[in-house]
Amino acid sequence: MEKAINCIAFDLGASGGKVILGVFDGNRISLSEIYRFSNNPILLADHIYWDFLHLFEEVKKGLQLAFKVTDGRIASIGLDTWGVDCTFLDKHDHLIENPYSYRDPRTNGMMEKAFQKMPRKEIYERTGVQFMQINTLFQLISMIEEDPRALDNVGTFLMIPDLFNYFLTGKKYCEFTNATTTQFYDPLTNRWNEPILQAMGISPSIFPPIIQPGTVIGDLSSWLCEELGVGPIPVTAVATHDTSSAVSAVPFIEKDCAFLSSGTWSLLGSEETSPVINKSGMEHNFSCYGGACGTWLVWKNIQALWLLQECMRVWSESGKDYSHEDIILMASQAKPFGSIIDTDDLVFLTPGDFPKRIAEYCHRTNQPPPENDGAMARCILESLALKYRYTFEHLEDVVGKKPDQLYVIGGGSRNWLLNQFTAEALGLPVRAGPAEATSIGNISIQLMALNELDCLADSRDIIRASFETATFESCKTDPWEEAYIKYIEIITKSKTFNQ
């Protein structure tokens, strides 16, 4: 390779965004951060919105900086975000409103409304998506319940990354991996599921064509190039669901390994070659989402480090500005198994005073509340590890095989204490890293679109050569077994939104 290939990854999460330069020299990928910005949901009256216009301005700033850093030598850019959230253009292609956040309470009770129109079993068999009130289907139903004519002026439905790509290129598509999170995509026919849409009173005409990861959408729009002073850079549709991008960067070596994408949410599952939709998946509420390069990802969503993030926000507001390293150290020094919570309890879905909510949960389940901040953090981390074991055991049932190792990726892979707890709870080795898996996967899919990498296996060979991982061994002990028995008792008694 005569010259290194520069690709830019825009990785937008529920709390912030990053602009990452990936440089491929033919043997390795190296990363450098160009820009970082916050993503702060807007609370307006009783609703929670994403500030899309602010986020798009930040993307534009990142573009300008990337163009400057690379002297304009950018082969491709790709953007990924979270799943389930959507937005709408009117019939003149104007943005109708700021998109709602999946944490908005408007979806309360909407699953029950949906099941009145189509049985739960039929919806699952048609989509393979776990039932969560945050799903796109229930967001649309909430709009229709409030106003039966709410969708009359909609010209085009787009998921969040598709909206960014529309403003970047002027092209209207829905990318496959994010489309599969809606709960009205049919993985067996590979198209929007019209029977579900029609049963819910949603016109199929508003949904654009679906494109696969690795599709070059087009060049940056001319107006954007002129405004920013940049060239006509190609925009690639990567696996726009951030977890799907992240899983494409898991450096699997052995067969029958599971993955855990660890962050605000944790997604625990396995990569398969065809859709897995069965009775066990419905019983245990697993999803079958689309992955890169023809793969399918069978996983379960788990509310995870969101709980710790909300605690840290509350502590910071009271003057206790802990770093993540502080929190991990404090948790490591706290008493083991003081109290256990179900992180998926509905009380932890929306923002708020989580130290108070955790204490109230403990009182409700006849446990002593954590006695200090370190004990609170340990309670969250131990409870997460126990939740991972619970989910891991169900994964075996869904996919019909027992994974013999777990790969942890994403920002949470830096949390050594949670990694060790997870190894202990599962009784299996845990390999942690790369932490920037989403950006790496984003960039590797761009490189495949550019024909610089041949396939997913080729990409993973390069990723293993480029990034280090850490291994956490299990020395499973009786206290973890006793804690797991207690955990099962607690979640059996406590109503959760993810059971």
Three-state DSSP at 162 gives helix
Q: Are residues 224 and 260 in the same domain?
A: no
Whether residue 122 is contained in a domain is answered as yes
pLDDT above 60 (res 375): yes
| pLDDT of the residue at 1 | 60
Helices 373-399 and 478-493, packing angle to 10 deg = 80
Whether residue 128 is contained in a domain is answered as yes
Of 242, 266, 289, the last residue of a domain is: 242
Three-state DSSP at 214 gives coil
| pLDDT of the residue at 497 | 42
| pLDDT of the residue at 495 | 57
**Mean pLDDT over residues 5-27, rounded?**
97
Q: Are residues 208 and 259 in the same domain?
A: no
Whether residue 321 is contained in a domain is answered as yes
| pLDDT of the residue at 476 | 67
> Hey, which residues are catalytic here?
242
| pLDDT of the residue at 498 | 40
Percent pLDDT > 90 in the chain is 95
Q: Are residues 233 and 281 in the same domain?
A: no
pLDDT per residue as tens digits for the range 399-426: 999 999 999 999 999 999 999 999 999 9
**Mean pLDDT over residues 299-313, rounded?**
97
| pLDDT of the residue at 3 | 81
Q: Are residues 121 and 171 in the same domain?
A: yes
pLDDT above 90 (res 164): yes
pTM over cut 0.85: yes
Q: Are residues 226 and 292 in the same domain?
A: no
Whether residue 399 is contained in a domain is answered as yes
pLDDT per residue as tens digits for the range 42-55: 999 999 999 999 99
What single-letter DSSP state applies at residue 135? S
Whether residue 416 is contained in a domain is answered as yes
Whether residue 484 is contained in a domain is answered as yes
Pairing mode of beta strands 430-432, 406-409? parallel
Q: Are residues 118 and 141 in the same domain?
A: yes
Whether residue 462 is contained in a domain is answered as no
Q: Are residues 266 and 387 in the same domain?
A: yes
Q: Are residues 317 and 344 in the same domain?
A: yes
CA distance 210 to 192: 9
What are the φ/ψ torsions at residue 440 (nearest 5 degrees)?
Answer: -65, -45
Q: Are residues 160 and 304 in the same domain?
A: no
Block residue for tokens 């403003």: 167
**Mean pLDDT over residues 428-438, rounded?**
95
Q: Are residues 479 and 357 in the same domain?
A: yes
Of 211, 242, 273, the last residue of a domain is: 242
Q: Are residues 67 and 198 in the same domain?
A: yes
pLDDT per residue as tens digits for the range 108-136: 999 999 999 999 999 999 999 999 999 99
Q: Residue 266 is part of a domain; what is its CATH number?
A: 3.30.420.40
Structure tokens at 90: 């009117």
Q: Are residues 223 and 261 in the same domain?
A: no
Of 242, 269, 289, the last residue of a domain is: 242
Whether residue 420 is contained in a domain is answered as yes
- What is the residue range of 303's domain? 252-433+469-499
Tally the domains of the chain.
2
CA distance 165 to 219: 10
